[in-house]
């Protein structure tokens, strides 16, 4: 099976592109093969038309918290509220988020999806620091209009399947809270050592015990994953690991637990099960 991982950004450019890492899952091994660099959203939209079958893990929230959608009076279903967010435009969407935050008491400004709480991620509303709310605004409408199958928000039988990924969940298995990347600042020996440790973990038996398959990569890829301070390609590999795991659970709802609100979306990783 062709498996992709795609580390997302709300403003792709030549300096900070989207990296679509292509792997193949076969006989219990996820093998790193190639990567495409996408420097704008037009290229991303074209890439989504890549013929299937494939599954891709993408690092942005596919949905928003149900209570936010209800508070804003948006349609309850995923496709409906994604269309509404797109209709509002960037300023209108961000204004709606800020207005909701302003209406809430101190210490309760952010609303969270169940997947956000279990993964320890920021709220899908976040518009600064790691602006995942902006990523949602740029990513989800493009998924909705592309016709791909969006698990679990819009499973439509298309052979191109997208799942929500969060690289930090995989990284924490091997690094805890140790930092392994930083954009826009000089690299440090500590972060480089953390990336080397993470790559070793991905190639270890511990990865197989958790996800049910091993990871194989050539020396060129190992050097790139360790050498890039921003870890864009490495994060794409972590997304591919989660996508591959979801694919192995495709006959069991892609690894989405029954308590998931499918209109909110779900981060696909075994760490979010068994609560």
Q: Is the pLDDT of residue 201 over 90?
A: yes
Q: What is the pLDDT of residue 234?
A: 98
Q: What is the pLDDT of residue 182?
A: 87
- 147 Ramachandran zone, left/alpha/beta (phi>0; psi -120 to 50): left
Of 168, 176, 182, the C-alpha closest to 241 is: 168
Mean pLDDT across 107-122: 96
Q: Is the pLDDT of residue 275 over 90?
A: no
pLDDT band (50, 70, 90) for residue 183:
confident
Mean pLDDT across 39-53: 98
Distance CA 229, CA 15 (A): 13
Instruction: Tell me the pLDDT tens digit for each residue of 6-39.
Output: 999 999 999 999 999 999 999 999 999 999 999 9
Q: Is the pLDDT of residue 226 over 80?
A: yes
Q: Which single residue is written with the structure tokens 């930090």?
A: 168
Q: What is the 8-class DSSP label of residue 212?
A: S
Q: Name the helix (H) or strand (E) containing 207.
A: helix 205-211
Q: What is the DSSP string of 214-272?
A: EEE--HHHHHHHHH-TT-HHHHHHHHHHHHHHHHHTGGGGGG--TT--TTT--B--GGG
- Between 174 and 129, the more confident residue is 174
- Residue 175 CB coordination number (10 Å): 16
Mean pLDDT across 226-233: 95
Share of residues in the chain with pLDDT > 90 (%): 96
> Strands 214-216, 160-164: parallel, antiparallel or unpaired by DSSP?
unpaired
Q: What is the 8-class DSSP label of residue 122?
A: P
pLDDT band (50, 70, 90) for residue 61:
very high
Planar angle of CA 265, 270, 273, nearest 5 degrees? 70
Distance CA 219, CA 144 (A): 37
- 113 Ramachandran zone, left/alpha/beta (phi>0; psi -120 to 50): beta
Candidate from 88-92, 126-130, 141-145, 266-270 with smallest mean pLDDT: 126-130
Q: Which residues contact 85 (CB under 8 A, 6 or more apart)?
A: 64, 74, 93, 136, 137, 140, 141
Q: Is the pLDDT of residue 184 over 80?
A: no
User: Against a cut of 0.85, is the pTM above it?
Assistant: yes
Mean pLDDT across 49-78: 98
Q: Name the helix (H) or strand (E) containing 71.
A: helix 66-71
Q: What is the pLDDT of residue 34?
A: 97
Share of residues in the chain with pLDDT > 70 (%): 100
Q: What is the pLDDT of residue 185?
A: 82
Q: Which residues contact 232 (CB under 8 A, 6 or more apart)?
A: 7, 16, 17, 19
Mean confidence (pLDDT) of the chain = 97
pLDDT band (50, 70, 90) for residue 155:
very high
Q: Which residues contact 82 (CB under 8 A, 6 or more apart)?
A: 140, 141, 144
């Amino acid at each position: 099976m062709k498996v992709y991982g795609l580390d997302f950004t709300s403003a792709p450019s030549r300096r900070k592109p989207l990296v679509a890492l292509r792997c193949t899952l076969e006989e219990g091994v996820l093998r790193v093969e190639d990567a495409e660099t996408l420097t704008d959203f037009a290229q991303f939209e074209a890439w989504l038309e890549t013929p299937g079958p494939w599954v891709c893990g993408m690092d942005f929230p596919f949905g928003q918290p149900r209570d936010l959608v209800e508070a804003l009076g948006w349609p309850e279903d995923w496709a409906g509220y994604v269309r509404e967010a797109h209709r509002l435009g960037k300023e209108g969407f961000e204004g709606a988020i800020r207005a909701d935050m302003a209406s809430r008491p101190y210490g309760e400004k952010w609303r969270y999806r169940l997947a956000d709480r279990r993964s320890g991620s920021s709220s899908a509303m976040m518009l600064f620091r790691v602006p995942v709310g902006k990523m949602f605004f740029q990513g989800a409408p493009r998924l909705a209009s592309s016709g791909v199958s969006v698990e679990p928000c819009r499973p439509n039988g298309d052979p191109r399947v997208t799942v929500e990924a969060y690289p930090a969940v995989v990284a924490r298995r091997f690094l805890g809270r140790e930092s392994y990347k930083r954009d826009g600042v000089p690299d440090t020996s500590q972060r480089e050592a953390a990336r080397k440790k993470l790559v070793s973990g991905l190639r270890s038996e511990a990865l197989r015990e958790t996800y049910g398959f091993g990871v194989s990569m050539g020396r060129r890829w190992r050097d790139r994953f360790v050498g890039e301070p921003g870890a864009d390609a490495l994060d794409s590999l972590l997304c591919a690991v989660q996508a591959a795991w979801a694919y192995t659970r495709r006959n069991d709802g892609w690894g989405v637990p029954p308590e998931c609100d499918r209109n909110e979306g779900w981060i696909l990783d075994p760490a979010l099960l068994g609560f």
